Amino acid sequence: MAALISTRVGIIVGSLRTESISRRIAHALAERAPGSMEFAWIEIGDLPLYSEDFDDDPPAQWTRFRDEVRSCDGLLFVTPEYNRSIPGALKNATDIGSRPDEDANVFDGKPAAIVSVSPYANGGMAANHALRQNFVYINLRTMAQPEAYIGMAEDVVDEEGRAGSDESDRLLTEFMQAFAEWIALVGQGESGERPIVGMLHFLSPEPRRLARFWSELMRLPIADGATDDLVMLDFDHVVTPTTWIFGRATDAARGRAPLGLDIGVQDADTWADVATRAEALGAERVGEHEDGGIQWIEMNDPDGNRFRVFAPRPEAT
Ligand X SMILES: Cc1cc2nc3c(=O)[nH]c(=O)nc-3n(C[C@H](O)[C@H](O)[C@H](O)COP(=O)(O)O)c2cc1C
Of 29, 74, 75, 81, the residue at the interface with ligand X (CB under 6 A) is: 81
Tell me the closest approach of the beta carbon of residue 79 to ligand X, in angstroms: 8
State which residue, 81 or 301, has the beta carbon closest to ligand X.
81
301 touching ligand X, by CB under 6 A: no
Binding mask 105-134 for ligand X (x = CB under 6 A): ------------xxxx-x-x----------
CA dist., res. 123 & res. 117, Å (int): 5
State which residue, 84 or 162, has the beta carbon closest to ligand X.
84
Cis omega (within 30 of 0) for bond into 48: no
Of 48, 84, 162, 259, the residue at the interface with ligand X (CB under 6 A) is: 84
Tell me the closest approach of the beta carbon of residue 133 to ligand X, in angstroms: 16
The residues pairing with 22 across neighbouring beta strands, listed in sequence order, are none
For 130, counting Cβ atoms within 10 Å of its Cβ (0-12 exposed, 13-18 middle, 19+ buried), the class is buried
- Its sign, for the CA torsion 151, 155, 160, 166, is negative
Of 82, 182, 213, 271, the residue at the interface with ligand X (CB under 6 A) is: 82
Tell me the closest approach of the beta carbon of residue 294 to ligand X, in angstroms: 44
The Cβ of residue 194 has, within 10 Å, a number of other Cβ atoms equal to 11
CA dist., res. 143 & res. 76, Å (int): 10
State which residue, 108 or 154, has the beta carbon closest to ligand X.
154
Binding mask 8-37 for ligand X (x = CB under 6 A): -------x-x--xxx---------------
Stretch 261-290 residues interacting with ligand X (CB under 6 A): none
CA dist., res. 155 & res. 57, Å (int): 45
Tell me the closest approach of the beta carbon of residue 315 to ligand X, in angstroms: 34
Candidates 171, 107, 103; CA nearest to 142 is: 107
Tell me the closest approach of the beta carbon of residue 26 to ligand X, in angstroms: 9
State which residue, 124 or 207, has the beta carbon closest to ligand X.
124
Q: Which residues of this protein are in contact with ligand X, per CB under 6 A?
A: 15, 17, 20-22, 80-84, 117-120, 122, 124
